[in-house]
Structure 1
Amino acid sequence: MKRLTLFIATILLTLNAGSVSRTDSAGTRFNMDKDFLLVQYDCKTDVDDLHTIAAFRSLTSDPLFSDLHYYAVAGAYGIQDGLYVPPNNLFRLAFGNKWSDAHENAEKAVKEVIKKVKATIKNNGDIWIAEAGQSDFTAKLVSELQNAFPELNTQGRIHVVQHSDWNEKSTSPESLAYVKKNCDYIKIPDGNTVGNGSPGFRDGDYTDWKQDISNEKLANIWQLASDISTNYNGEDNRYNNSAIANGGLDFSDLSEVCWIFGLEVIKDARQFFRLYVK
Structure 2
Amino acid sequence: MKSTSILNLLLFATLFFLNSTTLKSYGQSTFNHEKDIILAQFDCKTDVDDLHSVAAFVTLMAHPDFSAINYYAVAGTYGIQEGLYVPPNDLFQLAFGDRWSDAHKNRHLAVREVKAVIKPTLAAGGDVWIAEAGQSDFSAELIKLLQDDLPELNTSERIHIIQHSNWNEEVTSPESLEFAKQNSDYQKIPDGNAVGNGTPGFRTPEYSGWKDELKDSKLKKIWELATSLANEYNGKDGRYNNEAVSSGGLDFSDLAETCHILGIDEIKDSEKFFKRFGK
Q: TM-score, normalized by length of structure 1? A: 0.89
Q: Give, in whole Å, the separation in 1 of the partners of 2:162 and 2:70.
A: 17
**1:205 CA displacement:** 2.9
1:112 to partner: Cα distance: 0.4
Equivalent-residue separation in structure 2 for 1:277 and 1:61 (angstroms)? 9
Q: Distance in 1 between matches of 2:86 and 2:206?
A: 24
1:62 corresponds in structure 2 to: 63
2:210–2:278: 8 Å Cα contact kept in structure 1? no
Whole-angstrom distance in 2 between the partners of 1:210 and 1:259: 25
User: Match for residue 168 of structure 2?
Assistant: 167
Larger radius of gyration: 2
CA distance in 2, matches of 1:219, 1:89: 15
1:263 equivalent to 2:264? Answer yes
Q: Distance in 1 between matches of 2:204 and 2:143?
A: 34
- Residue 66 of structure 1: CA displacement? 2.3
Correspondence for 2:96: 95
**1:125 counterpart SS class:** coil
Partner of 1:143: 144
1:150 deviates by 0.5
Query: How far apart are 1:28 and its partner, in Å?
Result: 4.7
For residue 66 of structure 2, what is the amino acid of its counterpart?
Answer: F
Match of 1:158 in 2: 159
Identity of aligned residues (%): 59
Q: Find the aligned partners of 1:31 and 1:207 in 2 and give their Cα distance.
A: 34
User: What's the counterpart of residue 180 of structure 1?
Assistant: 181
State the Cα distance separating 1:108 from its structure 2 match. 0.3
Does 74-83 or 118-127 show the bigger shift? 118-127
Match of 2:65, SS state, is helix
**Which residue of the partner structure matches residue 19 of structure 1?**
none
- Once residues 68 and 30 of structure 1 are traced to their aligned partners in structure 2, the CA distance between those partners, rounded to angstroms, is 10
* Alpha-carbon offset, residue 73 of structure 1: 0.2
RMSD value, Cα: 1.0
Residue 130 of structure 1 aligns with which residue? Answer: 131
Question: Once the 2 structures are TM-superposed, how far is the Cα of residue 90 of structure 1 from its aligned partner?
Answer: 0.2
Paired AA for residue 158 in structure 1: I
**2:38 matched to 1:41?**
no
Contact 2:209 2:271 in 1 (8 A): no
Give the number of equivalent residue pairs. Answer: 252
- What secondary structure sits across from 1:63 in the alignment? coil
Using the TM superposition, name which of 63-72 and 78-87 deviates more.
63-72
Gaps of 5+ in 2: 1-27
